[in-house]
Amino acid sequence: MLSPEDNDRLCRTGPGTPMGKLFRLFWLPAMLSSEVREPDSPPRRLRILGEDLVGFRDTDGRVGIIDAYCPHKLAQLYWGRNEECGLRCPYHGWKFDVNGNCIDLPNVENAENTKRKMGITGYPTREAGWIIWVYMGPPDKMPGLPGLEWTTFPESQVSHHRWLQRTNWAQGMEGEIDTSHVSFLHRSNSPEHSLPPEFTYYGPPGPVDGSPSITLKETNYGFVYGSRRRTLNENEFVWRVTQWLVPMFCLIPNRGYPRTGRAWVPVDDYNVMTFGTCFNADRDFTDKERQILDAGSFFPPRLQPGSTRLDDGYIIDTWLPVANADNDFLIDREVQKSGNYTGIFGINEQDRCIQESLKSIPGVRNGGLVDRSRERLVSSDVPVITARKQLLKLLKDMENGIDPPQASRPDLYQVRAMADVSLHAVFDELLNERNDYIMSLAGS
Ligand code: FES
Ligand SMILES: [Fe+2]
């Protein structure tokens, strides 16, 4: 449970908000590289941390993420011509480069001086891991890119998707570290509604209880927790070791392929862009694996590319989930009766069904921003409680002039999730044994 004030501090990320300032100290995923693969390809409409932006790749291959609106008469640059190293507004021809500089004012005589004053916001961008990252914070505090393992692999070893979730960012992120729901929301006894064994959270032998024992260790990047479930063999345990990294990165364990991670990038206070990544650390994805991933039973959900109107009418270019609140997430009550816990097809579809319909604070669209003052949390909610506590503490520190140390320590992000069956009953023992795999990439 959070007070309404802390709930607002945690969730709201627009310009000038405490959490917005914190997010602006980190590099954030903004687009997939493939969206603007070609120089001078069509621009993309974005909203990040409540700011309307347009992303494009110029003639020289550089990527710009700049203000969505032309400063002249506020036309949307999305309609513009992407040509000769700049985006040209189609209304009167003003042109902007990837840094937001105004480089042409063709409807003005002797425009040199005027041109210099017409620059717009242009945020620094980088490409890593087939993702375009943006930094929206103070230039003098720009850190290195977070050293997440999946940013280092060739394109053949990663599968990236992004899609719109119609909730506040923290709802998505918190669902990710809520391990006990996996035994219920995602349970399925019917083979046709189950993932292949190598794509399940456990693989055989499966766990036999839905009340995991959770041990959480706070770290200098956030926390790692192990959730332990019993198996049919009383000496063996299913362990899931999950990583949460400030402010919203998660690494989620699977026993087999693929490994996964998510980043929850606020669009505005009531929408979040989910960046879902699956990766194989040591080999290419096979065509069959890509087919299974793209079929939508896991992460990502079933998707279609498209543009959509946000609550205030602004349109963004993204991917949209096929199963959504407008079609009851395609729930099948017969399937629900016959062994699938929800009657909803995919893992993310099951997650979003819940997260997009949580009770909101007064005056906000259903599911938009959950009213945490009314929750009744229990021991299995420790990871969620800890993430909130850490983030609110970082906000307090920022108000006292101390920036989040994680922002300037990209090396801290080089950790891994893990899922396995082990004879160890104690998390510390498991961590000690598997330290090389889980933690050793991390700086100290
Ligand atoms: S509104 Fe863009 S050039 Fe006039
Ligand atoms: Fe889930």
pLDDT tens digits, 297-325: 888 999 999 999 999 999 999 999 999 99
pLDDT digits (tens, 9 = 90+) for 206-217: 666 667 889 999
Domain boundary, last residue among 83, 107, 141:
141
pLDDT band at 259 (very low <50, low <70, confident <90, very high): confident
Q: Based on the domain organization, do 217 and 363 belong to the same domain? A: yes
Q: Does 111 contact ligand 1 (Cβ within 6 A)?
A: no
Both structure tokens of 22:
């914190």
Q: Is residue 12 part of a domain?
A: no
Q: Does 94 contact ligand 1 (Cβ within 6 A)?
A: yes
What is the signed CA dihedral for 369, 373, 374, 380, rounded to 10 degrees?
Answer: 90
* Longest CA span, the chain: 83
Q: Based on the domain organization, do 179 and 45 belong to the same domain? A: no
pLDDT digits (tens, 9 = 90+) for 73-132: 999 999 999 999 999 999 999 999 999 999 999 999 999 999 999 999 999 999 999 999
Q: Is residue 348 part of a domain?
A: yes
Q: How far is the CA of 88 from the centre of ligand 1 (A)?
A: 9
Q: Based on the domain organization, do 91 and 173 belong to the same domain? A: no
Instruction: Name the domain count of the chain.
Output: 2
Q: Give dist(CA 35, CA 43) in Å, integer.
A: 9
Q: Based on the domain organization, do 303 and 431 belong to the same domain? A: yes
Q: Which ligand is nearest to the CA of 73?
A: 1
Q: Which ligand is nearest to the CA of 69?
A: 1
Q: Based on the domain organization, do 156 and 231 belong to the same domain? A: yes
pLDDT band at 190 (very low <50, low <70, confident <90, very high): low
Q: Is residue 363 part of a domain?
A: yes
Q: Is residue 180 part of a domain?
A: yes
Q: Based on the domain organization, do 46 and 120 belong to the same domain? A: yes
pLDDT digits (tens, 9 = 90+) for 360-380: 999 999 999 999 999 999 988
Q: Based on the domain organization, do 156 and 134 belong to the same domain? A: no
> CB neighbours of 442 closer than 8 A, spacing ≥ 6?
219, 221, 411, 412, 413, 414, 415
Q: Based on the domain organization, do 347 and 247 belong to the same domain? A: yes
CB atoms closer than 10 angstroms to residue 219: 17
How many residues are given for the chain? 444
Q: How far is the CA of 58 from the centre of ligand 1 (A)?
A: 19
What CATH number should be reported for the domain holding residue 32?
2.102.10.10
Higher pLDDT, 287 or 255: 287
Q: Does 92 contact ligand 1 (Cβ within 6 A)?
A: yes
Q: How far is the CA of 41 from the centre of ligand 1 (A)?
A: 21
Q: Based on the domain organization, do 131 and 155 belong to the same domain? A: no
Q: Based on the domain organization, do 306 and 327 belong to the same domain? A: yes
Q: Based on the domain organization, do 103 and 72 belong to the same domain? A: yes
Residue 45, domain extent? 27-141
Mean pLDDT, range 372-397, rounded to an integer: 96
Q: pTM for this one?
A: 0.95
